[in-house]
Amino acid sequence: MLDEPAAGLDPRARHEVRTMIKQLAKTGVSVLFTSHDMEEVARIADRMVVLHEGQIVAQGAPAELLAQSGCETLDELYFELTDTQEELA
């Protein structure tokens, strides 16, 4: 389990972390990581879960979630899933 594994790293170190995670996954190891960086999620994750106020509001492959929602980016998807009318007012 990794919490924000690439946060604060320079581009080379982020690349190395992504490569390590992908290599682990290829060997059959499950890797669970948390991230607020949706670009990083898109590059690494084969499945994702979006939480809002402690509840799961979406889960699945990033590409599938984008296709189902009609959103173009994971950032846009996150906003759509977590914005409430009260927050927008």
Q: What are the catalytic residues?
A: 4
Dihedral, CA of residue 15, residue 20, residue 23 and residue 25, to nearest 10:
-110
List, in sequence order, every residue forming a beta bridge with 3; answer none if it has no partner.
Answer: 34
State the DSSP H helix or E strand holding residue 48, giving kind and residue range, or none if neither: strand 48-52
Q: Phi and psi at residue 38, in whole multiples of 5°?
A: -65, -30
